[in-house]
Amino acid sequence: MRRIAVIGLGYVGLPVAVAFGKHSRVIGFDINEQRLKELRNSHDRTGEVATAELSAAQILYTSDINDLRQADFLIIAVPTPVDEANKPDLGPVLRASASVGKALKRGDIVVYESTVYPGATEEDCAPLLEQQSGLKCGRDFFLGYSPERINPGDKQHTFTKIKKVVSGQTPEVLEIVAEVYGSVIEAGVHKASSIKVAEAAKVIENTQRDLNIALMNELALIFDRMGIDTQAVLEAAGTKWNFMPFKPGLVGGHCIGVDPYYLTHKAEKIGYIPQVILSGRRINDSMGRYIAQRTVKEMVRSGHAVLGATITVLGLTFKEDCPDLRNSGVVNILQELQEFGVRLQVSDPLADMDEAREEYGVELMAFKRLQPADALIIAVAHADFRKLSIDEIRGLMKDPPLVIDVKGIFMRDRLEAAGIRVWRL
């Protein structure tokens, strides 16, 4: 039986460690001591794993590289973000590789789950493993790649219930990787023909979603100029059996707004300039600014002075019912609104206040402390917001009331019947 270690215990790594930890002892490695302390107390601040599951899993939580020597199947599941210029930042995965390299032994298998561009595992990571270990890749130790498919906040499509793509450096390694993952994945595994194929599969999964959302966002921009309600159009078109149910909105998080840049970066390196993918990215990245500008226009039309006005924004995380703040599209709304000299009140019941302050300089307010505002932007469709009554919504605003319902979570006719001006994407 292979002895498992998981490097990186965030949204991706922790569910992996817990799944294996239900069957045998797992080494859980992370450099964040506060995170390790919380996990030892069976608390997962991301909300991905329940306390009971954490308590039941056999996991040694550690930041000591020497503990990794106990394992011979090492899974690297650290973040792979983009920088301010939207260039892939392999820093975390390369640092993790260097750490693992110091603990490598002959016969070990290193499997990457982090999103990378095709070729990165063998071309960028393997040399670091060799350098730190003094061993030869493909002879003394071996590589695998099994792209993560975690959807933060999704309690239905969890780690063990999503079919797992696996790959290995050799046919023999592929069989081992498939067997290890197959021992915990209820949905089964798909054996990719190579590591590069598995890497490419990962980046196009989210690139496809990004482009479909970009199409909906572009349609929303067009229909808004025509004075047509986009939600009503999608409801009508959705009655056809093969119409795909994508909706316009803000694109953020650790995958959809990031993965396409890994593919386009690699494409540009080999001499091809992507057209469609980058166009979709530009549309999606611009939506926060568009929503902010549209808010200001609606305020003017409602008779509100913009300079010095108060705007309340409900929601800061990148998606509903999830505490993840990474690459939140709401931040683009806030930054654009600040250019107009308004006062912002931001409230999110799931977001961590310290993280919001540290990452974005946003001071979150408790919902009950919000003062009546000139405009209310419902940016994230958290369950707490969806449950608000019309009276509660009305109480958050001055006269005349204005609601910017980004996700279209409320019945427009009911709000308008209550005298509330409504704009939605």
The token pair that represents 418 in the structure block: 């209550």
Q: Helices in 119-258 by DSSP H: which ranges?
A: 120, 126-133, 171-182, 195-226, 230-237
d(CA 108, CA 390): 60
Active site residue 322: no
The residues, any chain, with a CB within 8 Å of residue 175's CB and separated by 6 or more, are 168
Ranges of beta strands (E only) in 275-378 are 310-314, 343-347, 375-378
Decide: 333 and 292 in contact? Cβ < 8 Å. Answer: yes
Cis peptide before 400 (omega within 30 of 0): yes
User: Which string of DSSP letters, residue by residue, matches 101-134?
Assistant: HTT--TT-EEEE-S---TTHIIIIIHHHHHHHH-
User: Where do we find the tokens 């469609």?
Assistant: 276
Output the CA angle 360-319-14, nearest 5 degrees.
85
Please pick, among 125, 137, 255, 322, the residue that the annotation labels catalytic.
Answer: 255
User: Which residues are catalytic, by number?
Assistant: 255
